[in-house]
Structure 1
Amino acid sequence: MDDFNWTLHASALVTGLVFGYVLQRGGFCLTRALSNAVLMRDGTILRAYLLALLVAIIGVHTLGALGLLEVPVRPFRWVANILGGLFFGVGMILSGGCSGSTWYRVGEGAVGAWVVLLGFAMGATTVSVGALVPLRTWLQAPTVTVGGAAPTLYALVGLSPWMVIAVLAVAGALFLFRGQAEPDHGKWPWPATGLAVGVMIAAGWWTSGFGDRPAGITFASNTGHLLTYPLVGYPTQVTWSMVMLCGVPVGAWAAACRAGEFRWKLPPGWSLVKIFGGGLLMGGAALLAEGCNINQGLTNSATLSIGSLVTFASMALGAWLALWALYLRRG
């Protein structure tokens, strides 16, 4: 037990527990956010998502300014980011949930979420260490840099990060608080949800520093690792992100029980192939795009990385295309 890193495990578990609780109580899900906005013209959850991103941007750069975090910037692998994002968005619609919401729905008793996660883990493993590694490597090779470094939004426009953040905050406030009144849905109000998720995303950057390196909150490669670690011993040790992930459904279970929302839910038999396929596509696409909707869409978009922002936009576009093909094309 001398080699057991208590700080790593404790910080990861607490982060996962709190994040799972927040996600469940807020009903935070990119799939629902986009589906509701496109099909029902209800932008409530989407506003929470955008507020979370704004809060995370401010939080991450504040941590950097205080010297508590050296903010890493993801590279802009434009082919992989765009294609991976598009396929991930399609996978979200097919599976009926994004990576984060699938994990917290496990804690709500949704049996179908396990089917999605199995597909996700298999897809992620195939692309990360399996037969599709050569294809992933080839697609990730084209990389765009600015001045020899990974491009950021503020570097692209030639302004300081805080000037860009100020503009985004003002524009975001004007957009977010001009929406319609929020319908009653039994969850936290969207401002509380967005604020809580954004704070947790920023905090996740700091708490993940107790692991091998700051990586923030993610649901991508670590989902695959929870499959490969017990089966073949890969990775060779338990990581911060793996422990964090285990805490999410437990925190969500506590939230669901407290709100009287826990119940076992079986998916219709005919949907199993669809949701498994959606999970498979999401997992593979997440490894190609170097992140899921939480990791690229919030955790790394908070650094104002162009690669992450483009990936996030591609996910939204992929989801819209899937919604159009499945529901809107027929009128």
Structure 2
Amino acid sequence: MVWMIISGLIVGSMLGFVMQRTRFCLTGGFRDMYVQKNNKMFYALLIAITIQSIGLLILSVTGVFKITYEPFPIVGTIIGSFIFGIGIILAGGCATGTWYRAGEGLIGSWIALFMYALGASATKFGFLKPISESINSKTLANSSMTETTGIPFWVFVVVLSAVTLFLVNRTLSKKKMMAVPQLKQRFTGIKHYLFEKRYHTFAAAIIIGLIALLAWPMSISTGREGGLGITTPSAKLVQFITTGDTAILDWGVFLVLGIFVGSYMAAKGSREFKWRLPDIKTIKNSVIGGLFMGFGASLAGGCSIGNGLVATATMSWQGWISLVFMIFGSWFMSYFVFVRPMQQYKKSAKTSAVTQTA
């Protein structure tokens, strides 16, 4: 029990610290792919997936552990991931993002986090469970890409590595992507590097990929098979608070608590922690977005981390299908939240200019 608490908090704190300091946000990355035609954060995600997949290949070949696969619901994964994608745009952050931004003092993220955990708990253990089971009991399929195609795991890893290397090299070859603007230095020594220095998104992705890889042996050592996971641990935390059942607590619960702790430490050290009250619109979006995230991620069997970062690295159909549809969901909602209002503004400004000219 002691090792479970310590190891979970360590990995979670590392993840929360790095994500807060580097502003590693998949929600913003998915949104920017559509709104700004900027794929940098998506490429960073591919880096993290690739790093983890290479590590998993080495660990599995050397016999440290064997990756196992369970059947996954195709329809539930598609619908749930799309709903999750809508939710993260409304909430202003994905599952991990709400945890680490809550550690910065954002009240809106606290609201979204609570509703996300509540929605996940209701879907996994509560009154929404029959709906989830009804959808997920159909269209079950083998999630292993290796078993369904006959192509060895290492081939998928090599292809992913080659694609990622090509995209990253092409991006870094552009002059404007080479340098990362630095703020005026306030700290010296190690404090400067930990709490002030700005790092390239790709450097952050490498570290996050290594943390995601470390999560596997750390989690397995406590009897929990798997890597990083946010949705189920968040739901279990709600269950523990309402029931007091300590049997619910596992490595994943302490992982998500560690994300909050690490983010808080990073925000305080960099002087970025500040309680910030949202407006009424943000509160409404946080509530709705959080519920969509919790229900969608539970239905899909994972969030942007569980499916988008971890399952993809294991070469699981569930992970890659989920990643595609959560991106589609985020694009769908981005149109109504960002693109359409901007189009209406430009149209109104153009009409006003024509009227004034006349």
Q: TM-score, normalised by structure 2?
A: 0.85
Structure 1 residue runs without a partner (length 5+):
none
| Equivalent position of 2:129 in the other structure | 133
CA offsets per residue over residues 246-275 of structure 1, 9 Å max, x none?
A: 111111122222333222222123321111
C-alpha spacing 1:184/1:72, structure 2 compared with 1 (3 Å):
farther
Report whether the alignment pairs 1:96 with 2:92.
yes
The SS at the match of 1:236 is helix
Alignment partners' CA distance in 1, 2:125 and 2:49: 31
CA offsets per residue over residues 20-48 of structure 1, 9 Å max, x none?
A: 11111221121111122222233332221
Q: Is the 8 A contact 1:75 1:143 kept in 2?
A: no
C-alpha spacing 1:116/1:217, structure 2 compared with 1 (3 Å):
same
Report whether the alignment pairs 1:165 with 2:176.
no
Alignment partners' CA distance in 2, 1:185 and 1:316: 31
C-alpha spacing 1:31/1:74, structure 2 compared with 1 (3 Å):
farther
C-alpha spacing 1:78/1:185, structure 2 compared with 1 (3 Å):
farther
Structure 2 residue runs without a partner (length 5+):
184-197, 344-358
1:227 to 221, 224, 238: 238
Q: Is the 8 A contact 2:307 2:323 kept in 1?
A: yes
| Equivalent position of 1:218 in the other structure | 229
How far did residue 170 of structure 1 move? 0.9
How far did residue 120 of structure 1 move? 0.5
Aligned residue identity for 1:60: L
Q: Is the 8 A contact 2:43 2:164 kept in 1?
A: no
C-alpha spacing 1:185/1:110, structure 2 compared with 1 (3 Å):
farther
Alignment partners' CA distance in 1, 2:46 and 2:276: 30
How far did residue 210 of structure 1 move? 2.3
Structure exhibiting the larger radius of gyration computed from Cα positions: 2
Alignment partners' CA distance in 1, 2:70 and 2:213: 16
How far did residue 288 of structure 1 move? 0.6
Alignment partners' CA distance in 1, 2:6 and 2:28: 31
Aligned residue identity for 1:269: I
The SS at the match of 1:108 is coil
1:33 to 29, 32, 35: 29
| Equivalent position of 1:295 in the other structure | 306
Aligned residue identity for 2:44: A
The SS at the match of 1:42 is coil
Alignment partners' CA distance in 2, 1:122 and 1:311: 21
Aligned residue identity for 1:221: T
Alignment partners' CA distance in 1, 2:300 and 2:339: 27
CA offsets per residue over residues 56-79 of structure 1, 9 Å max, x none?
A: 111222221222222122423101
Alignment partners' CA distance in 2, 1:264 and 1:82: 36
Aligned residue identity for 2:55: G
Alignment partners' CA distance in 2, 1:286 and 1:93: 14
Alignment partners' CA distance in 2, 1:273 and 1:79: 29
| Equivalent position of 1:267 in the other structure | 278
Report whether the alignment pairs 1:45 with 2:41.
yes
Report whether the alignment pairs 1:21 with 2:17.
yes
CA offsets per residue over residues 106-152 of structure 1, 9 Å max, x none?
A: 1211111110011101111111111111111111112444xxxx332
Alignment partners' CA distance in 2, 1:142 and 1:309: 19
Structure with greater proportional helix content: 2
C-alpha spacing 1:166/1:127, structure 2 compared with 1 (3 Å):
same
How many residue pairs were aligned? 323
CA offsets per residue over residues 179-238 of structure 1, 9 Å max, x none?
A: 243364874212211101111111111111122322211110111221221212357342
Identity of aligned residues (%): 28
Aligned residue identity for 1:76: F
**Where do 1:80-159 residues align within 5 Å?**
80-145=76-141, 150-159=142-151
Alignment partners' CA distance in 1, 2:55 and 2:151: 19
Alignment partners' CA distance in 2, 1:261 and 1:49: 25
Alignment partners' CA distance in 2, 1:56 and 1:266: 37
Aligned residue identity for 2:164: G
C-alpha spacing 1:142/1:7, structure 2 compared with 1 (3 Å):
same
Aligned residue identity for 1:155: E
Alignment partners' CA distance in 2, 1:213 and 1:74: 15
Report whether the alignment pairs 1:241 with 2:237.
no
Q: Is the 8 A contact 1:69 1:205 kept in 2?
A: no
Q: Is the 8 A contact 1:72 1:303 kept in 2?
A: no
Q: TM-score, normalised by structure 1?
A: 0.92
